[in-house]
Amino acid sequence: MTVKLPISLKKYLIALVTLWLAFGADVAQAQSKATWIWYPGDYEIWLSNKMQNRRTERGSFFPPFWKLDSHYVLIDFHKDFELAAPEEAEIAVEGQYNLKLDGKAISGYPKQITLPAGKHRISLKVYNQGSVPAVFVKSAHLVSDTSWRVTFEDKEWIDASGKTSDISATQYLSAGAWNFNEASAQPSTFRLPTVAQQAVSQDKQKHFILVDFGKETFGYIKLQGVKGKGRVTLYYGESKEEALDTQGGELLDRIDVDQPQIGDITLDGSRAFRYVNVQYDDAVDIDKVSMLYEYAPVQQRGSFSCSDDQINKIWQVSAYTMQLNTREFFIDGIKRDRWVWSGDAYQSYLMNYYLYFDSPTVTRTLAALRGKDPVTSHVNTIMDYTFYWFIGIYDYYQYTGDKTFIQQFYPRMQSLMNYCLSRRNKDGMMEGLTGDWVFIDWADGLSKQGEVSFEQLLLARSLETMALCANIMHDGKGAILYNAAAKDLKAKLFAYYWNPQKHALVHSRINGKPTDNVTRYANMFSIFFNYFTKVQKQDVKKYVLLNNSIPKITTPYMRFYELEALCAMGEQNYVLQQMKDYWGGMLNLGATSFWEEYNPDKKGAEHYAMYGRPFGKSLCHAWGASPIYLLGKYYLGVKPTAPGYAHYLIEPQLGGLQWVQGAVPTPAGDIQVYCNRKQIKVNAANGMGTLRFKSKAKPVCKGATFNFANGYYEMTVQPGKNYTVNYSAL
Amino acid sequence: MTVKLPISLKKYLIALVTLWLAFGADVAQAQSKATWIWYPGDYEIWLSNKMQNRRTERGSFFPPFWKLDSHYVLIDFHKDFELAAPEEAEIAVEGQYNLKLDGKAISGYPKQITLPAGKHRISLKVYNQGSVPAVFVKSAHLVSDTSWRVTFEDKEWIDASGKTSDISATQYLSAGAWNFNEASAQPSTFRLPTVAQQAVSQDKQKHFILVDFGKETFGYIKLQGVKGKGRVTLYYGESKEEALDTQGGELLDRIDVDQPQIGDITLDGSRAFRYVNVQYDDAVDIDKVSMLYEYAPVQQRGSFSCSDDQINKIWQVSAYTMQLNTREFFIDGIKRDRWVWSGDAYQSYLMNYYLYFDSPTVTRTLAALRGKDPVTSHVNTIMDYTFYWFIGIYDYYQYTGDKTFIQQFYPRMQSLMNYCLSRRNKDGMMEGLTGDWVFIDWADGLSKQGEVSFEQLLLARSLETMALCANIMHDGKGAILYNAAAKDLKAKLFAYYWNPQKHALVHSRINGKPTDNVTRYANMFSIFFNYFTKVQKQDVKKYVLLNNSIPKITTPYMRFYELEALCAMGEQNYVLQQMKDYWGGMLNLGATSFWEEYNPDKKGAEHYAMYGRPFGKSLCHAWGASPIYLLGKYYLGVKPTAPGYAHYLIEPQLGGLQWVQGAVPTPAGDIQVYCNRKQIKVNAANGMGTLRFKSKAKPVCKGATFNFANGYYEMTVQPGKNYTVNYSAL
């Protein structure tokens, strides 16, 4: 029999593309590999508890000061399946469980079962108090994956006559998973991998070794050739000064060794350091000190190089800073907190899109930060950090196109937003209430009083995120509500804070009256949120961003946004110089990773002090790595314009450089860009791109045509094709 | 120097009594013994998870179908103290912790510290994922007890300059505790005690032993003199029929033994049984079967005896039924669920006040049932069971006078009540919504449709409980709100459901229209809730309670309330006969504990069937033990009239018996009562009592005077005095 195709080739191709787009949008739901599954967010919460309780301060345990949630201890998993023939399934479970086929229990704790042919339902109900209830099922055609349904409350009861009721349909969510794809890869046993590394120098003296690993690093110290009995104390230092200051350093470990035979000892606790000062008793001898470097096995897909070696070094050190701070989750810094802070993590998400494009680390971090209901405080207790959580989801959807996280967490998005909205004052504005930390930035004398414009701005964007997600969830009522609230708040933002004399948004209102105080925060965010008119943007650039009388920013954290705002306005030349001054300034001081704070006015060991402690400052802070994001998004010029890079823009900017080159990862392959003053080369694995640039002469490119509008040339970039454009930079 | 007492002796005595009352009211807060402490409710939730996940059904794990909550994994404990001189304190902690004195961390995990003289604050912050964060501190003058403050969210942050903020004051609660009064008595290692018990008969045949323990019991089977290798299967039976039905019984255990040397094996899982049918492979031999009886070490303080031996037997078997079902918590029944069910537990609380007066088992059960926020369903998913939870607190306060539970749980009382109120329909009535189980009772054909009057009645009483607790918590706004809602609902109850033709509340309204259906439930509760007028009470007695055309109750569960209503109306003679018929009926069938359901019309093994299974019925169900409550409250006639028995009533009723005698426990000592037709003897350890009775002749009692009003003689019972009243029963 032959079948005549009922559609033309053109229609067929459209259908193929549609299919691909649908697949791309829901890629995380379409796993076909067996993987361990759990209630969404539960493993992430459990793992983050474990990680966040590893902080120590001079030998004392130092846990977070916010509520830590926990997993549901009892979870019901099920999947409806249909098989042509019976097949054997392997079963692995973390916890005490029952297994049912079509509601009938199989006795005991089966490790293997025969699945019958036909349409059936398999369910597993798992209790686990100490770690997360999780299951792994694998047969030829039935595998545990995120298409399974889970609930913490199955409400399946039986009446006196034996009739069963199950009315929990609305409670089911799709299962959570990561990459535990073997029965033996039990989620509760997960540890980051390690690799042995050697010191670059060891200064060994009597009962004392000062070790230098040559750069900032993280892991477990290994004492080699240990003999004798006694106390060994390790003083860690991100700087040599810190390692040598046995009274003032942040990190130390004391262990008692009893080693009649010579042997090696690896410390239990992972620490951040470049230098280690190992001191030991008379009765102890140690041959040498090495380490096990601990790391997250994420793949570095993004790259960047250019004609300026200092910028290349800045990018490399930024990438290394990100590597060190990308662990089970995106953390703030490796020495001190090692906690998941929403504002810090938000920048890591953005940098990640230009370095690893590792989506699981983003959603894992978002899940850990959100925890569980009820909401009793802002995320990390910080008002602005709650808002970054929402905005992070907005960006995540834009970069990845993945709806799974939104589908799983929309109820928790709603309850967190309800918490925020219920805390507005009578004017509908957010003000710090008892228990709220209004952070904004580490900056001397920064006012947190009253209604801070920056907080309203972040809430407005958060409401826009809610509206976006409400639409994805087909929650029409929610979309209307959130959109209206966002619109209302944006109107107030300009009515209350815009000061025409100052050509800027002012910092706050106190007792209903706007202050005269102009700070950079709300102004720079309004630029890349696109809340300003063209005129306002130019005004703000002149009167705020490039105005030295407005208080300077001294953290890489807020410099991230300041420089982004300037890039968004085409100030790449200026920003390049700023990067060279600021990040280059840290490199000039010997930085091997970027810092929590950098004030060029300070001298020597002053740089290491913070929080009233001589070495309180983190010298390896994720938010120090922003050049990755700035160079990828605003110099290579690549960003998505539709969710998941279905459409995207390439707008290379030399910013005074002779050439730039690099790769930007996307959900399905990379976008390669090379640009000098005469030639642009691009190649993209997937999606539909627009290459945009200015040129003195009409550009030429084989296989492409150009539109010219508003001073820009534009051409379409098809997937999988190499383009070389000859042009002439302005 | 001499100090002149500024108060007269009289004032001094008043002050002493006031002090005593204050102490009595807050007794649980005034512990002076060191004890392990935790966040209130957390240990109870953790322990109930453990207990409730011990259910099996024919060898399959069978967990609850409602949400199980978990403890907070990170808790901050603190106590402000003042010492005259430094002293050494012992420290024990379950979890990873830091210890601070006046906010300064002590390095490491100290097991002992020196507390400085003067005013100071000690704090411990504890992380524990698998079990409950708990601490034990003991020095000469500072001990961990319920006066310590705890929080799950300390919000103690530090700014860049090193300044610390702590703004969590409103989040602190007083710590929870039980009776773990030694550092070595770690809460996580708690197990109920066991004692060896022997069978009364063993029928041993080839590869088969049928064991009879002589009565319903609970614990771990011990196989003695086991030798060989092979499979042993144990079929448990509350009846002989169940143990012998290897296909139809509810409980079984299969173990594989490998015993080259003769030895004993104790089973891991505790089970309920009277009979055990032990079957084993050819290659295995077993000498005999015994058990470890597992029990809660609560003290039986209440007692009852009378001139009728059958009633005495009923009381004894009731007490044994309660003993078996009083475990880590008050559970429903020992064979099947072994879960904490609120409606079942509510009756156990009431029986407990007349048997053990063990307050910790009440509050532990209330805490376990409530779990944590957010509320996602009714308690045990059952609407009525939510209301019993509230009403249980009302009674608990009345019987014990203890405010601690209310102080710790008022926020969770509010959130559960908010859940209820948010689920009312447009007429302000409760109706079963998706996911709600409207239970009422096991009864064929009982309608759960529409607005069931019984549910509104329980909500009204729950609202009264909230008003009471709001007053205790000085929540004036709450008290007004809850009182108004209760009043409104009670008005509707009579406006909507009272049918003058039927002289009764009807069962329900469907689509806003009252039905004609009269059932006993709302009517009998309205009597002892005192919601009816005198006339209504008499009408209901005649037209409902004593009317055989109204569907009969077949569970001891609802017979509890039915007989209580009749007792409250002075029908002790009738109720005594009912007890003899109903509970006596079970005894006549060989019951050694009382059942989940008993229908005299059934025959033989029909009695064991329920839920569509031949042995589905529990033959040892807590709700079967109500004679304890009825005989104590309505025959000995003792009940509190002010919280904690500060005032109480003794109103003995012979109900046709020649004499009754017994003890009723109170928070501080027992009340002893003896009564025959000529003499009443009372003695009470504490509180101010009123003895009330009817007499043909003027009664005589040394040291007492009588008031006579409304046909009753009344005299005051002072604490610690023996009274003998000569009177003449009507």
Q: Which residue of A has its CA nearest to B126?
A: A63
Cβ separation A167–B435 shorter than 8 A: yes
Q: Do B157 and A437 touch (CB under 8 A)?
A: yes
Residue in A58, A66, A70 nearest the CB of B153: A66
* Comma-separated ranges of CATH 1.50.10.10 domains in chain B: 303-634
Q: Do A67 and B64 touch (CB under 8 A)?
A: no
- Tokens representing A570 are 């085409």
pLDDT band with cut points at 50, 70 and 90 for residue A12: very low
Chain A environment of B442 (Cβ under 8 Å): 159-160
Q: Which CATH number fits domain B194-294: 3.40.50.2300, 1.10.3720.10, 2.60.120.260, 2.40.30.170?
A: 2.60.120.260
Length of chain A (residues): 730
Per-residue pLDDT at B246: 97
Spell out the long-range contacts of A489-495 with Cβ–Cβ below 8 A and sequence spacing 24 or more.
A489/A428, A489/A456, A489/A459, A489/A460, A489/A463, A490/A460, A490/A531, A492/A427, A492/A428, A492/A429, A492/A456, A493/A453, A493/A456, A493/A457, A493/A460, A493/A522, A493/A531
The hierarchical CATH code for the domain B303-634 is 1.50.10.10
Residue with tokens 């035979």: A261
Nearest by CB to residue B74, choosing from A63, A156, A161, is: A63
Q: Are A196 and A292 a contacting pair, CB within 8 Å?
A: yes
Whole-angstrom distance, CA of residue A389 vs CA of residue A370: 8
CA distance B615 to B610: 7
Report the mean per-residue pLDDT for chain A: 94
* CA dist., res. B279 & res. B108, Å (int): 55
Tens of pLDDT, residues A509-564: 999 999 999 999 999 999 999 999 999 999 999 999 999 999 999 899 999 999 99
B91 contacts in chain A (CB < 8 Å): none
Residues in chain B: 730
Return the minimum-mean-pLDDT range out of A21-25, A447-451, B529-533.
Answer: A21-25
- Contact criterion met (CB < 8 Å) for B611 and A160: yes
Q: What is the pLDDT of residue B157?
A: 79
Domain A642-726 in CATH 3.40.1190.20? The answer is no
E strand or H helix at B648? strand B647-650
Chain A: residue whose CA lies nearest to B597? A160
Using CA coordinates, name the residue in chain A closest to B443: A160
pLDDT value for A202 = 97
As to burial, measured by CB atoms within 10 angstroms (0-12 exposed, 13-18 middle, 19+ buried), residue B710 is exposed
Chain A residues closer than 8 Å to B171 by CB: 376, 435
Q: Where along chain A do the CATH 2.60.420.10 domains lie?
A: 642-726
C-beta atoms of A66 and B165 within 8 A: no
A49 to B129: CB separation less than 8 angstroms, yes or no: yes
The rounded distance, in Å, linking the Cα atoms of A43 and A48 is 8
Please state, in angstroms and rounded to a whole number, the distance separating the CA atoms of residues A45 and B163.
30
Whether the pLDDT of residue A11 is over 70: the answer is no
Which residues in chain B touch residue A65, judged by CB atoms under 8 angstroms apart?
A: 153-157
Nearest CA in chain B to A373: B374
**3-class SS at B114?**
strand
Give start-end residues of each CATH 2.60.120.260 domain in chain A: 27-186, 194-294
To test the contact with chain A by mutation, choose from B94, B99, B107 the residue with the greatest count of A C-beta atoms within 10 A, namely B107
Residue A135 is encoded by which pair of tokens? 């299951």
Report pLDDT for A29.
38
pLDDT at residue B15, as a whole number: 41
Task: Assess whether the previous peptide bond of B374 is cis (omega < 30° from 0).
Answer: yes
> Quick check: A63 and B70 CB within 8 A?
no
Centre a 10 Å sphere on the Cβ of residue B443 and count the other Cβ atoms it contains: 17
Residue A303, token pair as written in the block: 């790259």
Query: Least CB-CB distance to B65: which of A50, A107, A157?
Result: A157
| A-interface mutation test, from B54, B106, B155, most A Cβ less than 10 A away | B155
CA torsion A578-A582-A588-A591 (nearest 10°) is: -140
Q: 3-class SS at B36?
A: coil
Per-10-residue mean pLDDT of chain B, 730 residues long, equals 42 41 39 90 98 95 96 97 98 98 93 98 97 98 96 86 68 93 98 98 95 98 97 98 97 96 97 98 96 98 98 98 98 97 98 98 98 96 97 98 96 98 96 93 93 98 98 97 98 97 97 96 97 97 96 94 97 98 97 96 96 97 98 98 98 98 97 98 97 97 96 97 97
Whether the bond into A374 is cis, omega within 30 of 0 = yes
For residue B616, the chain A residues in CB contact (below 8 A) are 162
CA A394 to chain centre: 13
Residue A345 has pLDDT above 50, yes or no: yes
Does the domain at A27-186 match CATH 2.60.120.260? Answer given as yes
Domain with CATH 2.60.120.260 in chain B: 25-181, 194-294
* Tokens linked to A75: 């979870």
Q: Which pLDDT does position B167 carry in this prediction?
A: 61
Closest in B46, B58, B74 to A64, CB measured: B74
**Chain A, nearest residue to B162 by Cα:** A611
Test A161 with B611 for CB contact under 8 angstroms. yes
**Residue in B42, B54, B72, B73 to test binding to A, most A beta-carbons within 10 Å:** B73
Instruction: From the options 3.90.1170.50, 2.40.128.110, 2.60.420.10, 3.40.50.300, give the CATH code of B638-726.
Output: 2.60.420.10
Q: Which of chain A's residues have a Cβ under 8 Å away from the Cβ of B611?
A: 158-162
pTM confidence score = 0.93
Say yes or no to pLDDT of A25 above 50: no
Q: Distances from the Cα of B566 to the Cαs of B304, B545, B595, B636, B730, in angstroms?
A: 20, 8, 22, 16, 19
Tell me the torsion sign for CA atoms B140, B143, B147, B152. Answer: positive
Return the pLDDT at B158: 80
Instruction: Determine whether the interchain pair A611/B73 forms a contact, defined as Cβ–Cβ distance below 8 Å.
Output: no
Are the Cβ atoms of B597 and A160 closer than 8 angstroms?
Answer: yes
User: Residue A168 — very low, low, confident or very high, per pLDDT cuts 50/70/90?
Assistant: low
Q: Give the β-pairing of B149-151 and B156-158.
A: unpaired
Give phi and psi for A213, each to the nearest 5: -90, 5
pLDDT at A322: 98
What local confidence, expressed as pLDDT, does residue B469 receive? 98
Choose among B64, B171, B612: nearest Cβ to A161: B612
**Domain boundaries for CATH 2.60.420.10 within chain B:** 638-726
CB contact under 8 A, A66 and B155: yes
Name the pairing type of β-strands A722-726 and A700-701.
Answer: antiparallel
> How high is the pLDDT of residue B162?
82
For the structural domain made of B25-181, what CATH number should be given? 2.60.120.260
Interface confidence, given as ipTM, is 0.93
Comparing alpha-carbon positions, the chain A residue that sits nearest to B374 is A374
Q: Please tell me chain B's helix, strand, coil percentages from 3-state DSSP, rounded to the nearest 5.
A: 30, 30, 40
Q: Do B107 and A58 touch (CB under 8 A)?
A: yes
- In our burial notation (b when 16+ CB lie closer than 10 A, e otherwise), range A189-212 reads eeeeeeeeeebeebeeeebebbbb
Per-residue model confidence (pLDDT) at position B677: 98
Query: Which of A57, A68, A127 has the CB atom closest to B63's CB atom?
Result: A127
